[in-house]
């Protein structure tokens, strides 16, 4: 039995030796890879950057072409066909800009107001004395601008008068917080006992020396009061005593008070808020003023974000405010 097993093993060994050996041979010892062969991170990162850049540019172009507001003074002039006489920087609070113009005469906002005032004439004899400040919709900074314009003229040595003609929502009177005595409604009442002299009707702003006529009560018919013979006669009397009279009015699309009152003004300025007021709304406001025969001398781009404006304005005045104010020691506020 043992002998038989040995014979079988011998036969198996002989058969295995007769089998042809393969031609494969060991060239090098395999080593495990240090980094994974897939996915290729560098290629994927570069591809992700390229795709995200393309998507970002597409979104930017879509937003740019779908933006129906005004982003630069050149764009405002081109689409409204009116001269843009200036722009004003934007601030967080409504009254912050006017406070800055009083405290810092070299600030960007104060310089912008002075430039606009000079563009309007600044109170010279040959220039318009009664300037109506209008806006298409609420929230464009009209009342703050009117207050700053009148105060700037007073600080420059001119006799300026600010009249709060917004009988529905008297914002200027709230900003001043010095209201007492006679207001515009009592002046325009047809039952007034006697004609008021300038020193009787106007109050004086203690911060700037500007005179102003507030509005306190509620008017039942604002249009009738603002276009009444008493209002016309009152403005004529004020014209003889002041170099610049600024009329702050209600928004044009909220009521037609401003459009009717523009007949009594020498010049009308339309405020347009940067990046907020739709172009169609601005065009409609200009048509309303044109229908009433208003002398629209120009527009003002208000509440401008100067940092973002540089990407739209290029070498315009906003670029100066953003880049070169430090050269003259002006405060960025």
Q: Is the pLDDT of residue 125 over 50?
A: no
User: Which one-letter DSSP state was computed for residue 329?
Assistant: T
CA dist., res. 291 & res. 314, Å (int): 35
Confidence band of 330 (pLDDT split at 50, 70, 90): very low
CB 319 within 8 Å of CB 308? no
> What pLDDT, on the 0 to 100 scale, is given for residue 264?
93
The rounded percent of the chain whose pLDDT value lies above 90 is 29
**Nearest-5° Cα angle at 73, 71 to 74:** 100
User: Average per-residue pLDDT in the chain?
Assistant: 80
Instruction: Give kind and range of the element (H or E) at residue 302.
Output: strand 296-304
Note if the pTM is more than 0.85: no
Cis (ω within 30 of 0) for the bond into 39? yes
> b vs e for 62-92, b when ≥16 Cβ sit within 10 Å of the residue's Cβ?
eeeeeeebbbbbebbbeebebebbbbbbbbe
**Residues in the chain, how many?**
333
**Nearest-5° Cα angle at 265, 110 to 242:** 60
> What pLDDT, on the 0 to 100 scale, is given for residue 85?
93
Tens of pLDDT, residues 242-290:
999 999 999 999 888 999 999 999 999 999 999 899 999 999 999 999 9
Tens of pLDDT, residues 7-60:
777 777 666 655 555 666 777 777 777 777 777 778 888 888 888 888 888 776
Confidence band of 332 (pLDDT split at 50, 70, 90): very low
> What pLDDT, on the 0 to 100 scale, is given for residue 259?
92
- CA distance to 126, 144, 164, 179, 243, per residue, from 203 (Å): 26, 18, 12, 8, 16
Q: Is the pLDDT of residue 148 over 50?
A: yes
What is the CB neighbour count within 10 angstroms for residue 273?
Answer: 23
User: Which one-letter DSSP state was computed for residue 191?
Assistant: T
């Amino acid at each position: 039995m043992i002998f038989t097993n040995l014979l079988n093993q011998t036969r198996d060994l002989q058969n295995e030796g007769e089998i042809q050996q393969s031609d494969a041979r060991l060239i090098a010892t395999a080593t495990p890879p240090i980094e994974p062969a897939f996915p290729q991170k560098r290629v994927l990162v570069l591809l992700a950057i390229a795709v995200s850049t393309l998507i970002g540019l597409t979104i930017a172009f879509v937003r740019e072409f779908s933006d129906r507001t005004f982003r630069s003074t050149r764009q405002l002039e081109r689409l409204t066909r009116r001269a843009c006489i200036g722009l004003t920087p934007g601030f967080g609070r409504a009254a912050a800009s006017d406070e800055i113009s009083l405290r810092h005469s070299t600030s960007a906002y104060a310089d912008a107001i002075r430039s606009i005032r000079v563009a309007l004439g600044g109170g010279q004899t040959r220039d318009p004395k009664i300037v109506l400040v209008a806006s298409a919709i609420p929230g464009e900074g009209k009342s703050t601008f009117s207050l700053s314009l009148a105060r700037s003229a007073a600080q420059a040595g001119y006799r300026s008068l600010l009249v709060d003609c917004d009988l529905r929502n008297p914002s200027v009177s709230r900003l001043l917080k010095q209201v007492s005595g006679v207001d515009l409604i009592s002046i325009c009442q047809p039952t007034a006992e006697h004609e008021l002299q300038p020193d009787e009707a106007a109050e004086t702003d203690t911060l700037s020396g500007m005179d102003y006529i507030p509005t306190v009560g509620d008017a039942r018919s604002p249009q009738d009061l603002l276009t009444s013979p008493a209002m016309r006669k009152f403005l004529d009397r004020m014209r003889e005593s002041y170099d610049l009279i600024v009329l702050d009015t209600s928004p044009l699309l909220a009521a037609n008070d401003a459009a009717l009152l523009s007949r009594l003004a020498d010049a009308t300025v339309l405020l347009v808020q940067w990046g907020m007021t739709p172009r169609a709304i601005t065009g409609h406001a200009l048509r309303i003023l044109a229908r009433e025969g208003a002398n629209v001398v120009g527009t003002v781009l208000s509440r401008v974000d100067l940092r973002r404006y540089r990407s739209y304005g290029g070498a315009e005045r906003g670029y100066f405010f953003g880049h070169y104010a430090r050269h003259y020691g002006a405060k960025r506020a």
